[in-house]
Homo-oligomer: A and B are copies of this chain.
Amino acid sequence: MARTQGSHSDITGPRVRAAALRLFAQHGYAAVSMRQIAREVGVQVGALYNYTPDKQALLFSLLKGHMDDLLEEWQAEQRPEASRARLEAFVRFHIRFNLARPEAIFISYMELRNLTPENFAVIEALRKRYEGALEEILRDGQAEGAFSVPDTRLASYALIAMLTGVNTWYRAGGRLSIAEVADIYWDMVRKAVSADDATGAPQPA
């Protein structure tokens, strides 16, 4: 910081992205100025334009990189398994992945409307691909009779929302480890998609 001259292209680029990610997550894209980002990096504002053509491209690059990571890591997780095991893997992967990068997750949900229409379409397509993976698991399990999920589309929306919600309250160093949280959520998911005999009827106390 407070450096006044010199060339550091190798490290400045990542620092610009890191600063933008942090500031966008904290204050919101529209509320963050290029001056703020420059100050955080420790350069003058003009220098930022060596690394991004404009502010919009910076946001898009962060979101695109995040979605690419997500799809790549989920691909690497794939095993040929029964639906129930695949669903459990999805639940645990989603929670673990999201909690490892809360800022990227946050801007991925909050800043979609600040993308240009073209950029939005790209991100949206990737998001649908990921969420489609969950729906496919539910469809397969329903077909096999492992789950009782009459509307797999709605169920996939419901489960994604529930799992993603972990990021709104989880704080590292709290009462529960990530694995414990995943255990509890998996238990709820497992029951939510299961067949039971209590439909409508009151349960025995």
Contact = CB atoms under 8 A, between A and B. Distances in A.
Interface of A: 26-28, 30-31, 82, 84, 110, 113-114, 144-146, 150-151, 154-155, 157-162, 164-166, 168-169, 176, 181, 184-185, 187-196, 198-199, 202-203, 205
Given A28-B113, A30-B30, A84-B202, 6 more contacts: A28-B114, A161-B162, A161-B164, A191-B194, A194-B198, A196-B196
Secondary structure class of chain A's binding surface, majority of residues: helix
A158 B145 contact: no
B145 A205 contact: yes
A146 B203 contact: yes
A169 B194 CA distance: 24
Nearest to A167: B161
A143 to B, nearest CB: 11
